[in-house]
Amino acid sequence: MTNGDYYQLLKLLAPEWTVVGTVLAILFADLQFWRNRSVAWRSAGAASILSLGFAAAAGLLIWKRAVTADLLGGTLVLSPTSQYVKLALLGLAIVTAWLCTEGEFTKHVGEFVALIALATAGMMFLVSTENLLMVFVALELVSLSLYVMTAFNKRSPRSAEAALKYFLFGGMAAAFTLFGFSFLYGLTGSIHLPTIAAKISWHAGDPLTLVAIVLVVAGFGFKIAAVPFHLWAPDAYEGAPAPAAAFIASGSKVASFFVLGKLLSVGLPGVGGSGAWKAFSPGWLAVVAILATASMIFGNLAALAQSSLRRLLAYSAIAHAGYALLAIIGGSQPALLYYAITYAVTSVGIFGVVAVVENRTGNEDIAGLAGLRERSFLLSVALSVFVLSLAGVPPLAGFFGKFYAFAAAAKLGSSLGYWWLVALALGASCVSLFYYLQVLKQVWVAPVPEGQGKVAGGWVVSILLALLALAVLVTGAAPELLIRFLK
Amino acid sequence: MDVHAAHNAVTAAAPAFSSRPEDIAWFILLLPLLAAAGITLIVRRSNFLAATFSIAATVTAFVLSFVLFLMFGVGDAAAVTSPFAWLHAGELAVNLGVTVDKLSTLMLLVVTGVSALVQVYSVGYMHGDRSFPRFFIGLSLFTFSMLGIVLADNFVMMFLFWELVGVSSWLLIGFWYEKESAADAAKKAFLTNRLGDFGFLLGIIIIWAAAGTVNFAELSQKLGAHPDLLGSLASVAGLLVFMGAMGKSAQFPLHVWLPDAMEGPTPVSALIHAATMVAAGVYMLCRVFFLYQVETAWPAALAFFGSISALDIIGGIGAFTALLAALMAIQQNDIKRILAYSTLSQLGYMVMAVGCGGPDAAMYHLTTHAGFKALLFLGAGSVIHACHHEQDIWKMGGLRKLMPKTFLTFALGTAALAGLPPLSGFYSKDAVLLAALDNGHPVLFGLGVLIAAMTTFYMLRLVLVAFLGSGRSEAAGHAHESPGAMTWPLVILAVPSVMLAWVPLGDYLTHHFFTDHGHVHGHGSEVISFGATISAAFGLVNHILFEPFNHAPLPAFLGTGALIIGAWIAVTLYWNAERDPLPKLLGSFARGMRNRFYFDEIYEAIFIPLHDLVARLADWFDRWVVGGLAVRGAHGSTELLGRALRIVQSGNLQTYTFFFVAGVALVVLIALK
């Protein structure tokens, strides 16, 4: 390790520095200059600083988009794909920050926006490492920021409750992850993923290997809300401030899926086992197949019975975690990333609509959307695009996301061994249409309730929502536009 | 040597226009879409701006098409395509690309030209309609969809625009949706087309499965190298693709939608019937003609077809449609319906030409037909406008003096359609007949001559009854000439109706289709470039006017003879006639013709009970199996599960923790087994 290496490291991490600098700039501006301003002013100011800083970071990423690097024994691993994933994370964070301008859930909005930026920094480190220790540290940075964000509405007991559950649950999941990592280290003597990959296959049939895999997957299963590690999600989605929920559902998901996919396919390729029909053998493929099955069945069935829009989204997120796990099983990184990114864009969009509607009406139920078509045409159209995309209706992005994920799983193995999983996923998608259409029924069919006026978000949020809806439409109509960056 | 030099010259001169002609093609394609979007989003409330946007876009597209035509038609520039990847799904790679060659540039001219004139005309015809801007949105969308078909360089893209034409035709035919017959006609057109599209899609899938590509150029190349590439499905694939053309170009038995589509506003009829929708089928057949040049092969189940090729079947269907429609046209009394059946009949003619191995003749007839049929429809629209929306020709009469411009142009259009030399229709009809004769289809040739006589007969009947004689109703008596926005397009369209064939269009098309294969036929054995034509125009007038009679006297003289006979019978029967003498002469046959040989009734008798049966079965299935077993069953079990889950989702953190750990244990247990 020479000084030149450190200089190189600092240079390569320029986008991350910029993001961290943005955190400090927001805190400083908020503390120093804006103490006496209104909350609306402060949230817009903080979101503006974040947007500027992140735009600069994005510019650095685009400038160095062709970079490949592997420094300090896998601590920092950069590839064009990781650069594009970071770009997506920055975009999602910008939208989330602007959602803070909808609704005054706290007076300390500058700190909240700074936490968004801090979580983003964590996510960026998370996607650019192949070192287990670094993975864990970055994961904790993301998680702790998100816990605090969830608890940020101090006037709401539900927010505090949700955050406490999220935190304790997350703490336990982190313990499991760390325990799993320590087993991996014990088995292979390394925390470097490619090294682990080279050595773990000696222990392929070892029950200890499987325990390690299950423990690691359990930790990430918590982050992506896969059954049976999903129990925190409905409460957190419901109680958290809308921007926090949006970020949990979007940025955090993208980063976690990327890392889980990398961990399993780069770090543990030799111990996949099999989840094929009638050819079950222990390994992570089997574990992930079990989680996917449980998530798709449970998420969709539980969503059918929800009346709260946010809980519905939580169960839908659980179901979608199941679908995305199919892409991990299929071993197709482009399919996984296309799925995760388009899903994140859709989710952040839906939470945007939810934030605006809740802020103006105070109603958190699906019934609160009644007659939205007459109260805000833009929100209605955008919400319809997002919801139909979640349901997987072509030509929206959700359709191609599912298509690529399912196709990846179907193609795995020689004789369509995973057909049972794909068939289940298709069936589950059909079921999901029911509850998604319930939402749209309220928007387009249900009568406008008495005494309810127009609903309109701020102009920045409105533009962002329109752009997100357009992005869902365009990446769906021309999937090559996005997927060629992810290959 | 000369051709080579010309090629080089054009390649060198091309940058003077644009470095990339395909960019111009993209621009042409997108212009009408931009207009439609612009009207929808910005100027939806202004009649004037809506018409301006739409007409400006189409006229610009026409001018740009002309530029392309100069580059690729007059010059000998090689075909270019400009694809970009649209989607990859497994092994299916679909590009969005435009093909610019002799065929597509000619068709671009036809589509944008007719569309522009129809839009100008619509300003007059639709004046005062409360949904005026919506009409122009529809026209622009329609033009966009049609241009997409023309420029598509692969089957999937063509199919997409194919469906877009279906949708926009639905919007336009049902423009007056509050009128029940219009809404029904729109539905009928759409559904009948879907039937054909189903076959088209199957054909595309078969071709893709067998050849591994949907790109026209690649497919043509592959088929050239391996004529047996499609195996035993070659003819089936060809016929399935033809099913798409059957729907759009209204060939028997899918012809029933076209006459009903007359319920749309008359400019829509003109657009659909002249240059766009119905022409799409014929154009598609010409575009993929290479598909039909492979060896005939049938799968075992269809082996009884023996050596009958897909083209033979196509030719037969075309001829039958042409005959059937001509017979129906003879006994119609609605001015637009006569023209509708005439379109049907002429489309049959074109399809017959393709079936006889003459795509050049088919395109030739399509081009000239686009001109004079648009003229006839717009003329009919002018008449209807003047007679306060009276469409029965027996309630007109004597319009010759009241509407001199309309009459004169309409008469020219009629003469062109009837094939009077030296008007354009004569030459293209002659090319069709020659294609039949030259390629060994004497029966189709005979039918063609017979249909030519019938065409003259029913068109002359229309003119004699509606324009000559004396006014037979008050509306006809008070008719007046239409405004300039409506008559000028008539005058402009009269020019190509008369003179289009004086430029060597037939040779141009023959060159496009057959030079590459070293097989030149038709009356264009020597390739004449446009430049040479113009320079030696006077010398060539003589050559062109009488060339058919010298080169292939049989079809030329028989065609002219048929014209004279048809005209003679029409004049004998309808000169100053007060009512139709034919029903008395022909009895029940005439009734059959008038009632379209009861095709609609037959379809209704067969398909509606069948449809009802399927619907009842589906209803039963939905009510008891889906509704009862699946939905209620799922609901019941979900309810149960939901209650169980409610216990799980207690909000109690200790319980959650327990489930987490239990979950880990369970997963380990299952995975280890």
Give the residue from chain B lying closest to A305, CA to CA. B642
Reading chain A (487 residues) residue by residue, the pLDDT tens digits are: 455 577 888 889 999 999 999 999 999 999 899 888 888 889 999 999 999 999 999 999 999 888 888 888 888 999 999 999 999 999 999 999 999 998 788 888 999 999 999 999 999 999 999 999 999 999 999 999 999 999 998 888 888 888 998 999 899 999 999 999 999 999 999 999 999 998 888 887 788 888 899 999 998 999 999 988 888 899 899 989 999 999 999 999 999 999 999 999 888 888 877 777 777 788 888 889 999 999 998 888 888 878 889 999 999 999 999 999 999 998 889 999 999 999 999 999 999 999 998 888 888 888 888 888 888 888 999 999 999 999 988 889 999 899 999 988 888 866 677 888 888 998 888 888 888 988 998 898 888 887 777 888 888 999 999 999 999 999 988 888 888 888 7
Distance from CA of A478 to the nearest CA of B (A): 6
Is A314 touching B (CB cutoff 8 A)?
no
CB-CB under 8 Å, A287 with B671 = yes
DSSP secondary structure of A412-443: STTTTTTHHHHHHHHHHHHHHHHHHHHHHHHH
Give the Cα separation of A282 and A305 in Å (integer).
35
Q: What ipTM was assigned to the predicted interfaces of this complex?
A: 0.77
Asked whether the beta carbons of B71 and B14 are under 8 A apart, the reply is yes
CB-CB under 8 Å, A286 with B642 = no
Listed by number, the residues of chain A in 361-400 with a beta carbon closer than 8 Å to a beta carbon of chain B are 400
Torsion-angle region of residue A189: left (phi > 0), alpha (psi -120 to 50) or beta?
A: left
Is A211 touching B (CB cutoff 8 A)?
yes
Domain spans in chain A, listed from the N-terminal domain onward: 272-487
To test the contact with chain A by mutation, choose from B659, B664, B672 the residue with the greatest count of A C-beta atoms within 10 A, namely B664
Predicted model pTM:
0.70
Specify the pLDDT at position B15: 40
Is A431 touching B (CB cutoff 8 A)?
yes
Name the burial class of residue B284, with classes exposed (0-12), middle (13-18) and buried (19+) by CB atoms within 10 angstroms of its CB. Answer: buried
To test the contact with chain B by mutation, choose from A172, A214, A437 the residue with the greatest count of B C-beta atoms within 10 A, namely A214
Specify the pLDDT at position A44: 92
Listed by number, the residues of chain A in 258-277 with a beta carbon closer than 8 Å to a beta carbon of chain B are 273
User: Which residues on chain B are in Cβ contact (under 8 Å) with A422?
Assistant: none
User: Which residues on chain A are in Cβ contact (under 8 Å) with B638?
Assistant: 301, 304-305
* CA dihedral of A378, A381, A385, A386, whole degrees rounded to 10: 50
To test the contact with chain A by mutation, choose from B163, B668, B673 the residue with the greatest count of A C-beta atoms within 10 A, namely B668
The full length of chain A comes to 487
Asked whether the beta carbons of A247 and A146 are under 8 A apart, the reply is yes
Distance from CA of A49 to the nearest CA of B (A): 33
pLDDT band at residue B528 under the 50/70/90 scheme: very low
Distance from CA of B40 to the nearest CA of A (A): 15
DSSP secondary structure of B529-569: -HHHHHHTHHHHHHHHHHHHHHH-HHHHHHHHHHHHHHHHH
Going through B51-104 in order, the beta strands assigned E by DSSP cover 80-89, 92-100
Is A290 touching B (CB cutoff 8 A)?
yes
Specify the pLDDT at position B537: 53
Specify the pLDDT at position B608: 73
pLDDT band at residue B520 under the 50/70/90 scheme: very low
Is A319 touching B (CB cutoff 8 A)?
no
CB-CB under 8 Å, A207 with B85 = no
CB-CB under 8 Å, A210 with B671 = yes
Read off the pLDDT of residues B333-376 as tens digits, 9 standing for 90 and up.
Answer: 888 888 888 888 888 888 988 888 888 888 888 888 888 888 88
CB-CB under 8 Å, B664 with A214 = yes
Give the Cα separation of A117 and A112 in Å (integer).
9
Residue B546 has pLDDT above 70, yes or no: no
CB-CB under 8 Å, B642 with A305 = yes
The partner residue sitting opposite A229, judged by closest CB among B85, B639, B663, is B663
Read off the pLDDT of residues B282-300 as tens digits, 9 standing for 90 and up.
Answer: 899 888 888 888 777 777 7
Give the Cα separation of B342 and B330 in Å (integer).
9
CB-CB under 8 Å, B663 with A480 = no
How many Å is the maximal CA-CA distance in chain A?
A: 71
Angle at A322 between CA A318 and CA A327, to 5 degrees: 140
**A351: its two tokens:** 């939470």
Residue B128 has pLDDT above 50, yes or no: yes
Read off the pLDDT of residues A97-139 as tens digits, 9 standing for 90 and up.
Answer: 999 998 788 888 999 999 999 999 999 999 999 999 999 999 9
Secondary structure class of B337 (helix, strand, coil): helix
The partner residue sitting opposite B638, judged by closest CB among A210, A301, A480, is A301
Distance from CA of B232 to the nearest CA of A (A): 28
pLDDT band at residue B77 under the 50/70/90 scheme: low
Is A478 touching B (CB cutoff 8 A)?
yes
Residue B246 has pLDDT above 80, yes or no: yes
The partner residue sitting opposite B663, judged by closest CB among A211, A228, A411, is A228
Report percent pLDDT > 90 for chain B: 0
Is A303 touching B (CB cutoff 8 A)?
no
Read off the pLDDT of residues B153-190 as tens digits, 9 standing for 90 and up.
Answer: 888 888 989 888 888 888 888 888 888 888 888 888 88
To test the contact with chain A by mutation, choose from B33, B41, B87 the residue with the greatest count of A C-beta atoms within 10 A, namely B87
To test the contact with chain B by mutation, choose from A211, A231, A308 the residue with the greatest count of B C-beta atoms within 10 A, namely A231
Count helices and strands in chain B by DSSP H and E runs: 30, 2
Is A403 touching B (CB cutoff 8 A)?
yes
Give the residue from chain A lying closest to B85, CA to CA. A480
CB-CB under 8 Å, A304 with B660 = no
Is A10 touching B (CB cutoff 8 A)?
no
pLDDT band at residue B276 under the 50/70/90 scheme: confident
pLDDT band at residue B6 under the 50/70/90 scheme: very low
Tell how far CA B575 is from the center of its chain.
35
The partner residue sitting opposite B649, judged by closest CB among A161, A229, A234, is A234
**Burial track B251-276 (b if 16+ CB lie within 10 A, e otherwise):** bbebbbbbbbbbbbbbbbbbbbbbbb
Q: What are phi and psi of B97, to 5 degrees?
A: -145, 155
Residue B540 has pLDDT above 60, yes or no: no
Neighbours of A235 (CB within 10 A): 25
Span B385-399, average pLDDT: 76
User: Which residues on chain B are in Cβ contact (under 8 Å) with A207?
Assistant: 672
Is A227 touching B (CB cutoff 8 A)?
yes
Give the Cα separation of B82 and B85 in Å (integer).
10
CB-CB under 8 Å, A286 with B645 = no
Distance from CA of A11 to the nearest CA of B (A): 35
Distance from CA of B323 to the nearest CA of A (A): 43
H/E segment holding residue A160: helix A157-188
User: Which residues on chain A are in Cβ contact (under 8 Å) with B641?
Assistant: 301-302
The number of C-beta contacts closer than 8 angstroms across A and B is 91
pLDDT band at residue B550 under the 50/70/90 scheme: low
Specify the pLDDT at position B12: 39
CB-CB under 8 Å, B656 with A231 = yes
Secondary structure class of A484 (helix, strand, coil): coil
pLDDT band at residue B65 under the 50/70/90 scheme: confident
To test the contact with chain A by mutation, choose from B637, B656, B666 the residue with the greatest count of A C-beta atoms within 10 A, namely B656
Q: Which residues, at least 6 apart from B498, have a Cβ–Cβ distance to it below 8 Å?
A: B412, B416, B423, B424
Name the average pLDDT for chain B.
Answer: 77
CB-CB under 8 Å, B660 with A214 = no
Distance from CA of A437 to the nearest CA of B (A): 15
CB-CB under 8 Å, B639 with A305 = yes
The partner residue sitting opposite A218, judged by closest CB among B639, B664, B672, is B664
Specify the pLDDT at position B400: 74
Give the residue from chain B lying closest to A408, CA to CA. B90
Specify the pLDDT at position B476: 65
Give the Cα separation of A354 and A241 in Å (integer).
11
